[in-house]
Structure 1
Amino acid sequence: MLWFTEYYSGEGMELQGTGLTFKVTEAFSFRTPFQEVLVLNTVDFGKMLVLDGAVQTTERDEFIYHEMIVHPAFFTMNSSPEKVLIIGGGDGGTVREALKHGVKQIDMVEIDREVVEVAKKEFPSIANKLEDERVNLIFDDGREFVKGKENEYDAIIVDCSDPIGPSKVLYEEEFYRDCLKALKENGVFVTQSESPFAQRKVHKQVVNELRKVFEVVRPYLAFIPTYPSGMWSFTFASNSLDPLGVNPGALGEAYGKFVKENGKLKYYNPEIHYGAFAIPNFVYEEE
């Protein structure tokens, strides 16, 4: 029997003597031009994708991350987004959830083709919509791709890894300004924004940089067992829409219609929609 431990370390990580260990029955790894890829079959969480030593997704808890990076923003919009840009998201889960809203076109920009290929083969329940005819897979640098785009997307979702190496530029004000230009007038932006407990300084940096660019910036939380500390965040941004301004009756009606068409979600619901935006005091207290 094998054991795998993700040790929490690296730039932005405030936990330096902690890790999470999994019992493993099978494993294989390979290196791409960008990173080391490890696929594990774990006893408790099913198959797991690990990039450069950091857990990215597991079959057991992936639904939490993927539902929460998509649905709070999309249920905030006055109508279903027609054209969506996803930067990162190589496992395919964000695409899967976005398509449930009747999106007509998704441009998914992922830098590492081999991650997408391994996801299709090893994680079909997550990646099963990557070959949908509405999805354009673009293997490129997401930072460079968004430059020069204007008034093109109803929503932009940044499903990126930690701010190390190529992903670091996806946490900066200049990138957020380019995303704003690429959005339509009532567009929405969402990014994963790290753990407010384990990576509080990085989380605060994301929120502060977004506030320099967007009128409405709302960080929100979800519990993801296999991510550092379990406390994970996302941040919504827009110049015209506010997830806390959504009428409860309208949200309940929209969610009911969604469930009839797609089935019940496993994590997100109208109560979670509002409650997720309640942030503990310690997160923004000055040290």
Structure 2
Amino acid sequence: MHSDLWLEEKFEDFLGLKFKVEKVLFSGKSDFQTVDVVETKGHGKMLLNDGLVMVTERDEFAYHDMITHVPLFVHPAPKNVLIIGGGDGGTAREVLRHQSVEKCTMVEIDAMVVEACRQHIPQTAKDLDHEKLQLIIGDGVEFVKQTTEKFDVIIVDSTDPIGPAQPLFGEAFYQDVFNCLSADGIVVSQGESSWYAMEIQQSLLKVLNAVFPQSYLYSFSNLTYPGGLWSFTFASKQYHPVADFDATRVAASGLDFQYYNQALHSAAFALPNFVKKGLAGLIDNS
């Protein structure tokens, strides 16, 4: 019976992405969303929140490499890092590979996502018990409002701006993020699709521009998010993501990456013309 089980993620009312499911590994409903982990043919294990694909074993490294290594190689000495969201653990795994990082705090609102990934997707969750990681199950919006700690890099690894993630796209949140960043801090956030969600990118960049002296967009390619081309925003108090990037640090780190490399770091900030036009005046194209 399971041989004909297909999962379809519907995007708005005009697009569907279908995946062949071999087995359902976990299915639950938390206080925030439905959480499912399935074994697929061709993409390995897959995490879905409210029916939307979050992570697959086959291509998770593209997202996690680019959300993490870009800011951590721009900041000259990232010691204290905050992740908001990121319940699958992949972002924390990549942050903790950097020797300069002394402490990583991860604030994830949904314990069910963390537990489901611990049990079924160790590929991303394997470092959730790392000695340098402080895992807090709680609201990231409240955390940045209340903390007195200062962070060198903040990574907002969130879902789309619906449900529990909606406040993570607002100005009040980013003002709090600005306040708990160090004097030369950087924040990187999941930045949606230029093909299908440019209005969200525009509103997010307007928010970042209202709070930070400089903000940018950079892109990466993946298999499982609608449109394939996806983005992150990069907002900074001081550092330019390309001009202040020291490529020799990547080689000197001795780290081996599956997606990220020093040439790709700079290239990711080179945007297609339709994106540059659509975001004109909102990003620094220098």
TM-score range, shorter chain: over 0.9
Partner of 1:211: 209
> Secondary structure, in 3 states, of the residue corresponding to 2:8?
strand
Partner of 1:279: 271
Per-residue CA shift, 1:57-112, capped at 9, x if unaligned? 00000000000001111111112x11111000000000000011121111100011
Report whether the alignment pairs 1:86 with 2:89: no
- Distance apart, 1:151 and its partner CA: 5.8
- Letter of the 1:273 partner, please give it: H
Identity between Structure 1 and Structure 2 (%): 43
Partner of 2:282: none
> Secondary structure, in 3 states, of the residue corresponding to 1:174?
helix
Question: 1:229 and 1:138 mapped to 2: Cα distance?
Answer: 33
Question: 1:221 and 1:160 mapped to 2: Cα distance?
Answer: 16
Partner of 1:17: 14
- Distance apart, 1:218 and its partner CA: 1.2
Q: Which aligned segments of 4 or more residues in structure 1 are displaced greater than 4 angstroms?
A: none
Number of residue pairs aligned between Structure 1 and Structure 2: 274
Question: 1:286 and 1:154 mapped to 2: Cα distance?
Answer: 30
> Secondary structure, in 3 states, of the residue corresponding to 1:130?
coil
Report whether the alignment pairs 1:131 with 2:129: yes
Question: 1:59 and 1:196 mapped to 2: Cα distance?
Answer: 24
Scaled by the length of structure 2, the TM-score of the pair is: 0.93
Question: 2:229 and 2:242 mapped to 1: Cα distance?
Answer: 21
Structure 1 residues 234 and 75: CA distance shift in structure 2, 3 A = same
Question: Quick check: 2:198–2:278 contact (8 Å CA) kept in 1?
Answer: no
Question: 1:21 and 1:41 mapped to 2: Cα distance?
Answer: 13
Question: Quick check: 1:149–1:181 contact (8 Å CA) kept in 2?
Answer: no
- Distance apart, 1:285 and its partner CA: 3.2
- Letter of the 1:257 partner, please give it: A
- Letter of the 2:231 partner, please give it: S
- Distance apart, 1:149 and its partner CA: 3.2
- Letter of the 1:20 partner, please give it: L
Partner of 1:122: 120
Question: Quick check: 1:150–1:183 contact (8 Å CA) kept in 2?
Answer: no
Report whether the alignment pairs 1:97 with 2:94: yes
Question: Quick check: 1:24–1:40 contact (8 Å CA) kept in 2?
Answer: yes
Partner of 2:283: none
Partner of 1:12: none
Per-residue CA shift, 1:142-166, capped at 9, x if unaligned? 1011103356111110001110022
Partner of 2:252: 257
Question: Quick check: 1:119–1:127 contact (8 Å CA) kept in 2?
Answer: yes
Scaled by the length of structure 1, the TM-score of the pair is: 0.92
Report whether the alignment pairs 1:227 with 2:219: no
- Distance apart, 1:225 and its partner CA: 1.0
- Letter of the 1:4 partner, please give it: L
Q: Which residue, out of 3, 8, 23, partners 2:6?
A: 3
Q: Which residue, out of 249, 269, 284, partners 2:261?
A: 269
- Letter of the 2:128 partner, please give it: L
Per-residue CA shift, 1:11-41, capped at 9, x if unaligned? xxxxx31011011110141111111011111
- Letter of the 1:203 partner, please give it: Q
- Distance apart, 1:286 and its partner CA: 5.3
Question: Quick check: 1:111–1:141 contact (8 Å CA) kept in 2?
Answer: yes
Partner of 2:191: 193
> Secondary structure, in 3 states, of the residue corresponding to 1:41?
strand
Q: Which residue, out of 153, 159, 163, partners 1:155?
A: 153
Partner of 1:111: 109
- Distance apart, 1:284 and its partner CA: 4.7
Alignment RMSD (CA, Å): 1.4
- Distance apart, 1:239 and its partner CA: 1.2
Question: Quick check: 2:108–2:137 contact (8 Å CA) kept in 1?
Answer: yes
- Letter of the 1:6 partner, please give it: E
Question: 2:157 and 2:278 mapped to 1: Cα distance?
Answer: 28
> Secondary structure, in 3 states, of the residue corresponding to 1:72?
helix
Question: Quick check: 1:109–1:141 contact (8 Å CA) kept in 2?
Answer: yes
